[in-house]
Structure 1
Amino acid sequence: MTAKILQETSLRYFLEVVRCGSIAEASVKLNVASSAISRQIAHLESNLNVLLFERKTRGMKPTSAGEILAAYALKLQLDSERVYNEINALKGLDKGNIKISCSTGFSLDFLPTVIAKFQNDYSGIQVLLHADSGKNVIQQLKDGVADIGVTFNHVPQSDISVLHRLNAPIYLIVPPQHELAERKSVSLPILSTIRLALPPKGIVLRDVFDVRCSHQGGVIEPIFNSNAMSAILSYVLSGGATLSTELVLKSYLNRGILKAVPLKDNILNNALSIEVCKLSGRILPDASRVFLEYLYDALTADDSTITEQS
């Protein structure tokens, strides 16, 4: 066991359950899926090798170990708020702009939500979000057009720094009424029997999927192709299906509008990673550095594993 398991997200969820007395109520307060909170608490208990709660019919009560951790978590939260306020007072972020370039999928739901939350606290900061292919996202960083890039895994380049990276398993995304919505997992051959919508060839997710299918000796052709994620989303909401990472459609999944069904394929479960990038050696403006904290918090909110790099 190491102190690294006491991550901010896990402790924040844990502390809210202590305050609320139940995961369901904490889910409402945090606006986070109950399953994500349960995973974080289970992760803490597993790594600390101790029960943190007594599970009761009408709620959850912290054990002695839980009370010790709750006291630590509260102190950490208060210290963090103090440091944040002190730094924020020095920054005085009431003007400025942030230029973000992202792979198209992130512009549909995830990044606009993060930006709105950021601007609730920094209403004077203007944000420019440009959606493009992963290749063009990297080029925009090199050209100085973008401060921050958010994309799926790209070919490593010496002049691009990956600030944060997390694994992004690929799921089958369907509406709740879909015939496969209640499956625990689905194998690739099943995808050839449904109304599958995918982005065009040349998009990382599509290319990874096509290569995997070819390695298994087959080709699965979608019956609907579009380079607009919004069009694919509308198609899925009308009864179709697509492949995506959970983060791209996070709020739709949390609200139960869509369901994510795991693929029974370890290769595709580990084929994609989400990367936050910048131009190597570039010192980001204060506004961009503060925004990154909001972005990292959103990226780790559903128990994703983050790896920091220099």
Structure 2
Amino acid sequence: MLLLHGFRRQRSGDRQRRADLDDVVRRGGAGMTGVSEREPTERDAEEANAASNPRVMHVVVSPWRLDGDDPAKRCIRIKALKFEVSDRIIRTMVGRCRGSGQCRPEDLPMIESAAIRYFREVTEAGSIKQAAVALRIAPSAISRQIQAIEEELSVKLFDRGVRGMVLTDAGRLLYRYAVDNRSQLDSIRAKVQEFETMRRGQIKFATVEGMLSNFLSNFLIGLSHDYPGISVSITVIGSRTVAEIVGRNEVDLGLVFGRAPRRDLIELARMRQSLCLIVSPRHPLADRRSCTVKELAGLRTVMPDPSFGIRQEIDRACANAKVRLEVCSETNSLAFAQMMASRTDLATFLPRDTAMPAIEAGRLVAVPLRDNRLEATQVTLVRLASRNMSPSCRMVADLLVTRMKTRLD
């Protein structure tokens, strides 16, 4: 069969063809007044015999094989089929759009041959009449399509009897194909709709502040450019609270400092974020290539409060080294800690990535810490194990996992 792709729009000539058809019907075909008696062209055959599916139409009838060799009858047949197809397309689209004002994607017909669809409906209904009721079309249209398939394959598909239409062996073979074809098309439609769904939606995200200033903000800028239909809600809190609200199913994804602290959380990816000593360029330690925790004894600092994973790691490292720091200021804002470090002689502790904008601007300096525990610190992307993620959320999570693994490498 010849497949014609695309949506065939109704042309102004359709109105003239309808007038011609009405004239033929009134005159009973006598004289053929107002009707061209030219030989049908291949284009006429394609347009006249296209199936009713307005998106993909199949040539299933060769009109010059019908009604003998009489050109007049062939011309009448072509005009009738042209009008029938145009009228059916209009009625189908209007009916589906009525009420809502727009066509819903789930109401559009599948990309399936009309002849195969009619054949499948007749098989399942048991008769052409019942299939016509289900499809809301004329029984004669179904009969023509069934006959066209039989002529195309040169086989008989049905045994017609008093109990209805029963498939022949060839018919059963074609029916299995029709069912498999429909299943594949349904699967394709589901995947296409899921793809469209992935481009829309809302993602709720909780993160530690350290990831927001550089890494996460750059990721979200790229996401908004590539997927403008996805909106992201960001909550910036301490690492412990991130784990808590992810565990309460209040957000889709979370970035915590260190490993996931709860068993009901799934770790999607980890990214190393070694802690550094952050000081101003004027600080006495600014010129050091690195330093140990023992060398920090008595250091005047501005520290994140204990809700931050950074503070917890520094406290453990100092306890192991038996070192005490002089905490001059404590805050729940890493931005405030950076500002204090850049304008005073106070030092703070942050991942280099967090302070990178200020480092590149020359306001701060990052001094690596020679400590196995502090060098191995990391952030972890987590989600609740029992949470059902939307397609858009799964896509964003996959993109973020890829970005984190790239940074890790």
How does the TM-score come out when normalised to structure 2?
0.48
Residue 397 of structure 2: which of 262, 286, 292 is its match? 292
Larger Rg: 2
Cα 1:111/1:166, change in 2 over 3 Å: closer
2:380 aligned partner, one-letter code: E
2:275 aligned partner, one-letter code: I
Alignment of 1:52-71 (within 5 A): none
Residue 315 of structure 2: which of 193, 202, 210 is its match? 210
CA distance in 1, matches of 2:349, 2:403: 21
CA distance in 2, matches of 1:256, 1:299: 26
2:287 aligned partner, one-letter code: E
Cα 1:92/1:250, change in 2 over 3 Å: farther
CA distance in 2, matches of 1:165, 1:88: 31
Query: Are the equivalent residues in 2 in contact too, given 1:171–1:243 (CA < 8 A)?
Result: yes
- Range that drifts further, 247-256 or 191-200: 247-256
Query: Are the equivalent residues in 1 in contact too, given 2:289–2:368 (CA < 8 A)?
Result: yes
| Match status 1:183 vs 2:296 | no
Residue 139 of structure 1: which of 235, 239, 244 is its match? 244
| Match status 1:241 vs 2:347 | yes
Measured after TM superposition, the shift of residue 127 of structure 1 is: 0.8
Measured after TM superposition, the shift of residue 160 of structure 1 is: 0.9
Query: Are the equivalent residues in 2 in contact too, given 1:210–1:219 (CA < 8 A)?
Result: no
Q: How many residues align?
A: 218
Query: Are the equivalent residues in 2 in contact too, given 1:91–1:286 (CA < 8 A)?
Result: no
Query: Counterpart in 1 of 2:256?
Result: 151
Query: Are the equivalent residues in 1 in contact too, given 2:286–2:367 (CA < 8 A)?
Result: yes
Cα deviation, 1:236-295, whole Å, max 9, x if unaligned, reads 22144211112323444455553321112223222x221000111434222222323443
Measured after TM superposition, the shift of residue 92 of structure 1 is: 5.9
CA distance in 1, matches of 2:196, 2:348: 43
1:201 aligned partner, one-letter code: P
Query: Counterpart in 1 of 2:79?
Result: none
1:171 aligned partner, one-letter code: C
Query: Counterpart in 2 of 1:262?
Result: 368
Query: Are the equivalent residues in 2 in contact too, given 1:110–1:251 (CA < 8 A)?
Result: no
Query: Are the equivalent residues in 1 in contact too, given 2:289–2:367 (CA < 8 A)?
Result: yes
| Match status 1:100 vs 2:205 | yes
Query: Are the equivalent residues in 1 in contact too, given 2:202–2:231 (CA < 8 A)?
Result: yes
CA distance in 1, matches of 2:405, 2:288: 26
Secondary structure of the corresponding residue to residue 276 of structure 1: strand
| Match status 1:110 vs 2:215 | yes
Query: Are the equivalent residues in 2 in contact too, given 1:101–1:132 (CA < 8 A)?
Result: yes
Cα 1:201/1:282, change in 2 over 3 Å: closer
Query: Counterpart in 1 of 2:266?
Result: 161
CA distance in 2, matches of 1:202, 1:143: 18
Greater RCO, CA 8 A, separation 6+: 1
How does the TM-score come out when normalised to structure 1?
0.61
Query: Counterpart in 1 of 2:140?
Result: none
- Range that drifts further, 282-291 or 161-170: 282-291
Cα 1:236/1:295, change in 2 over 3 Å: farther
Measured after TM superposition, the shift of residue 198 of structure 1 is: 1.0
Identity of aligned residues (%): 23
Task: Flag structure 2 segments of 5+ consecutive residues without an equivalent.
Answer: 1-190
Query: Are the equivalent residues in 2 in contact too, given 1:110–1:250 (CA < 8 A)?
Result: no
Cα deviation, 1:102-123, whole Å, max 9, x if unaligned, reads 1233234432332122111122
Query: Are the equivalent residues in 2 in contact too, given 1:147–1:284 (CA < 8 A)?
Result: yes
Task: Flag structure 1 segments of 5+ consecutive residues without an equivalent.
Answer: 1-85, 306-310
CA distance in 2, matches of 1:204, 1:89: 37
How much is the aligned-residue C-alpha RMSD, in angstroms?
A: 2.8
CA distance in 1, matches of 2:398, 2:364: 28
| Match status 1:225 vs 2:299 | no
2:354 aligned partner, one-letter code: V
| Match status 1:119 vs 2:232 | no
Query: Are the equivalent residues in 1 in contact too, given 2:271–2:379 (CA < 8 A)?
Result: yes
Measured after TM superposition, the shift of residue 173 of structure 1 is: 1.6
CA distance in 1, matches of 2:342, 2:193: 42
